Amino acid sequence: MRVVVAQDAPDAYKLAADAILTQVTKNPSSCLGLATGGTAEGIYPYIVQAHREKSVDFSNVRTFNLDEYHGLSQGNPQSYINSMNRWLFDHINMKRENIHIASGVGNAEESVEKFKKELKEFGPIDLQLLGVGKNGHIGFNEPNSFLNAEVHLQTLSNDTIKNNARFFKNEQEVPRTAITMGMGDILKARKILLVATENKQNAIRMLFTNDHVCPEIPVTFLKLHPDVTVIIDKALAIKAGLQNEIEKNILCEEL
Ligand code: GLP
């Protein structure tokens, strides 16, 4: 596992965007795994900018989003499909048929099966972008997840509901379930890029300060993957006790 310590959050977002852009430039038919949440939102403007200013081509890129709330329609600004359209897809030249996000409406079991089938057909993912929840969740794989889990309907933990309430009018509006790629799907990606800033110190500490892999903190499953790069900002590195790692490097070029 490589760790890149960025000066601050915008620097971390830019480094992550550069890693994604490098992947797309090297392989214009890349299959990307994408994420949502505040961290991911910070990354996409740099990708849009590179598309506009450097003509980075997405016409053959395929994407799979990690997860989607169940019960929110595409018209709801908090649904992940709506967010992804606003942040990224409406601004780059991707083909709509190459965008895969589990449907948040209709029969959940059918959405799960459809998404699972698409992932099997077009995977594996070349580069999977990840954020991490404060409690260590990945996608919506909550504490006590299974290592080999596939796409499934997940009941959200109280912690996640409380945390994500900041994006809704109030806590009651946060959906109680979501469809998510499983940890098994995520670990099948060829490369993983995890980005974290702010208050994720507990999760990041568990990732770097011991070799424990524990289902209570799903992010620790990433220790089992051979090609993971973690980009964090300096403030988080200090909070997580990673003073020694604080030297910015250029490992992103390897991606
Ligand atoms: C949501 C998403 C996760 C994301 C997490 C952290 O729960 N399902 O994929 O990692 O939020 O988001 P943020 O970057 O806003 O802290």
* Per-residue pLDDT reduced to its tens digit, 5-47: 899 999 999 999 999 999 999 999 999 999 999 999 999 999 9
End-to-end CA distance of the chain: 12
Q: Which residues contact 110 (CB under 8 A, 6 or more apart)?
A: none
255 pLDDT higher than 50: no
Q: How far is the CA of 158 from the centre of ligand 1 (A)?
A: 14
Q: Region 242-248: what's the mean pLDDT?
A: 65
The position carrying tokens 């590195």 is 237
Q: Which atom of ligand 1 is nearest to the CA of 131?
A: 10
Judge whether 74 and 102 are in contact, CB under 8 Å: no
Helix (H, G, I), strand (E, B) or coil at 40: helix
Per-residue confidence at 217, pLDDT binned at 50, 70, 90? very high
CB atoms within 10 A of CB 144: 11
Per-residue confidence at 245, pLDDT binned at 50, 70, 90? low
Q: Looking at the chain, how many residues does it have?
A: 255
Give, for 155, the enclosing helix (H) or strand (E): strand 152-155
Tell me what percent of the residues of the chain surpass a pLDDT of 90: 90
Report the distance separating Cα 160 and Cα 53, nearest Å: 37
Ligand 1 pocket test, candidate residues 13, 34, 39, 84, most atoms within 8 A of CB: 39
The position carrying tokens 């409690």 is 135
Q: Name the residue at shortest CA distance from atom 9 of ligand 1.
A: 139
Report the distance separating Cα 69 and Cα 103, nearest Å: 9
pLDDT value, residue 152? 98
Report the distance separating Cα 70 and Cα 220, nearest Å: 26
Report the distance separating Cα 125 and Cα 191, nearest Å: 8
Per-residue confidence at 243, pLDDT binned at 50, 70, 90? confident
Instruction: Look up the pTM and report it.
Output: 0.95
Longest dimension (CA), the chain: 49
135 is known as an active-site residue: yes
